[in-house]
Amino acid sequence: MEDIKKSQSISELRSVYDMMSLKGKKALVTGAAGGIGRTTATALAEVGADVALMDIPAKQDLLEKYCRQIADLHNVRTIPVTGDVSTPDAVAAFMAEIEKEFGTLHVVHNNAGVALPGDDSDIPYETYNQYVAINQTGVLLVMQASANMMKKNGNGGSIINTASISAHIINRGRPGLDRNCPGYPSVKAAVKHMTRAMAAEYVDDNIRVNSISPGYIVSGLHDEWDVGILEWFASTVPMGRLGQLDELMGVIVYLASDLSTYATGTDIIIDGGYTIW
Ligand SMILES: NC(=O)c1ccc[n+]([C@@H]2O[C@H](COP(=O)([O-])OP(=O)(O)OC[C@H]3O[C@@H](n4cnc5c(N)ncnc54)[C@H](O)[C@@H]3O)[C@@H](O)[C@H]2O)c1
């Protein structure tokens, strides 16, 4: 048995660049036709992973375009896969396609999600159920299917769920615009909590499960929002601005790679300080 008191010397420390590498690894990003997904797929490719980019069938063309761009940029293999993360049969189908093409998965960014209009105290039944189906059940289904593939192949792996600052706080409604969002924050809080439960479940299989909680990131998600609302949100962030997509690349590479081998069941907030106040 190793000496429990023996700490590593400087010469025993591994190289940060070696730990960061995902060369030879296979990754999946869901919601990859969206802003955050296409960005994290690019980041994973840059450090060497082959990546499956997954989104809804209506975004097939966009997925193919991003696959070509990422493969050209980083000289890795990329494949587009489509489906609906909230439907067990669809998840089984795209996971089978990935297994056929890649053989296995080592990294999953479980990121598909929606932000829907009408998220106030009168939130319609259908809207709330859509939140649960896509943003919560969808995360569970992809997590289960990914872990099953990792277990079958015995590689261990890293699953990263996209929660949100809304998992930590209730997004403040703009003055005069009463919008305290009972839908989105409650399912994002469920993602954060589910992450912890699954981290404990999969720890013996060497599968780590963590989540990220971005703040307001300019991604396409807010395309329909009024510029005035975005400016007001920016003014509520201690840094005084919205986040940019590449400001999420570091946290994904960290959680996906050997840089974070002692991190599981944790959530990392990247929000310009929003949750300080
Ligand atoms: N942008 C932000 O400010 C922000 C902040 C915190 C958390 N998030 C979360 O980040 C994730 C990505 O969001 P984004 O900002 O890139 O938004 P986005 O709208 O650009 O991307 C989301 C993607 O998910 C896909 N998607 C939706 N329903 C799906 C389904 N049923 N099956 C498969 N794919 C589906 C969409 O087609 C879209 O391409 C979401 O989970 C979102 O809730 C975003």
Residue-level pLDDT at 223? 83
Lowest mean pLDDT among 3-17, 120-134, 162-176: 162-176
Mean pLDDT of 20-32: 98
| 93 token code pair | 């189908």
Band the pLDDT of 274: cuts 50, 70, 90.
very high
Identify which of 219, 248, 270 to mutate to test ligand 1's pocket (most ligand atoms within 8 A of the CB).
Answer: 219
| 186 token code pair | 């409650």
Architecture of domain 18-262: 3-Layer(aba) Sandwich (3.40)
Residue type, position 76, single letter: V
CA of 111 to the centre of ligand 1 (A): 6
Residue-level pLDDT at 177? 62
Band the pLDDT of 262: cuts 50, 70, 90.
very high
d(CA 223, CA 108): 26
**Beta sheet of 26-30, edge-to-edge order:** 78-82, 50-55, 26-30, 107-110, 157-162, 207-214, 267-270
Residue-level pLDDT at 178? 52
- Residue 55 in contact with residue 33, Cβ under 8 Å? yes
The SS3 of residue 93 is helix
Angle at 57 between CA 55 and CA 62, to 5 degrees: 65
The SS3 of residue 83 is coil
Which residues form the pocket of ligand 1, taking CB atoms under 6 Å from any ligand atom?
Answer: 30-31, 33-37, 55-56, 59, 84-86, 111-115, 134, 138, 162, 164, 214, 216-217, 219-221
Percent of the chain exceeding pLDDT 90 equals: 86
Q: Who wins on pLDDT, 142 or 170?
A: 142
Ligand 1 atom at shortest distance from the alpha carbon of 58:
37
| 218 token code pair | 């300019």
End-to-end CA distance of the chain: 47
Residue-level pLDDT at 85? 99
Mean pLDDT of 31-54: 98
**Could you give phi then psi for residue 154, rounded to 5 degrees?**
65, 25
Ligand 1 atom at shortest distance from the alpha carbon of 85:
32
Residue 177, classified by CB atoms within 10 Å of its CB into exposed (0-12), middle (13-18) or buried (19+), is exposed
pLDDT digits (tens, 9 = 90+) for 46-104: 999 999 999 999 999 999 999 999 999 999 999 999 999 999 999 999 999 999 999 99
Catalogue the active-site residues.
164, 184, 188
The protein residue whose alpha carbon is closest to atom 27 in ligand 1 is 113
The protein residue whose alpha carbon is closest to atom 25 in ligand 1 is 31
pLDDT digits (tens, 9 = 90+) for 157-208: 999 999 999 999 998 777 666 567 889 999 999 999 999 999 999 999 999 9
Identify which of 29, 53, 56 to mutate to test ligand 1's pocket (most ligand atoms within 8 A of the CB).
Answer: 56
Question: How many other C-beta atoms are found inside a 10 Å radius of the C-beta of residue 193?
Answer: 14
